[in-house]
Structure formats: structure tokens, C-alpha cells
Homo-oligomer: A and B are copies of this chain.
């Protein structure tokens, strides 16, 4: 799966891709589960399978997430070190603000 190099990650593109409730919820969820391997099935709360494939591809192509193919599953993680080095403080401020999103609050209530 193609991932952009560090110097190919653009601020405008990262912001544009994060400017979407579903993708913000995915990033917020990944941030809550950092260090764990999150498989794409765990995002089913956030949308249909087709929609999620689209959103996960957008996140990967913008350099926000890393996707690893593991058998029939895909393991997703945040590219935190890369984003922190390119745009210091950006990811943390977005993750903090994203915790208030209804989709993430609903998920926490169910847990």
C-alpha cells in the first residue's frame, strides 16, 4: 500500500482530509488506542464498509495513518512521529478538540 514520504506530507492536504467528521472520529479513536493494533473492523461504528475504505484511504494517502495488511485484515495506526516532526503540536490539538465529537462520545458511552 502506498504511503507518502515525510516531505510529501502537505499541511493543506492534511487539514483538508481531517476536515470531515468521520475521519476526525477515526483519528480520535486511533489516538485513544495508541500502541495497539487497530483493525479496520473496529471502525464499523463510524460508517459502512465502503465508506470506511474510502475514508481510510484518504487518511493514508495524506500521510496521517499507516496501514499494514495482515492476512485478510488491515491494521491502522497514526503516523504520530511523522506528523509531530512536520507540524509540531497540530495533531495533539486536533485530537483534543475531536474528543468532543458525538461519534466518539457515543463510542465511549458504550464501552
CB within 8 Å of B: which A12-33 residues: 12-21, 24
CA distance A83 to B94 in the complex (A): 12
A97 touches B93 (CB 8 A): no
CB within 8 Å of B: which A47-100 residues: 86-90, 92-94, 96-98, 100
B98 touches A11 (CB 8 A): yes
A97 with B86, Cβ < 8 A, contacts A19-B13, A24-B12 known: yes
Identity of the chain B residue whose Cβ is nearest the Cβ of A100 in the assembled complex? B11
| Chain B residue contacts of A101, Cβ below 8 A | 11
Min C-beta distance of A30 to chain B, whole Å:
16
CA distance A97 to B88 in the complex (A): 8
A94 with B90, Cβ < 8 A, contacts A12-B21, A15-B18, A15-B19 known: yes
CA distance A45 to B13 in the complex (A): 22
- 6 inter-chain pairs at a CB distance below 8 angstroms, sorted by A residue, are A12-B20, A15-B15, A15-B16, A17-B19, A89-B96, A90-B93
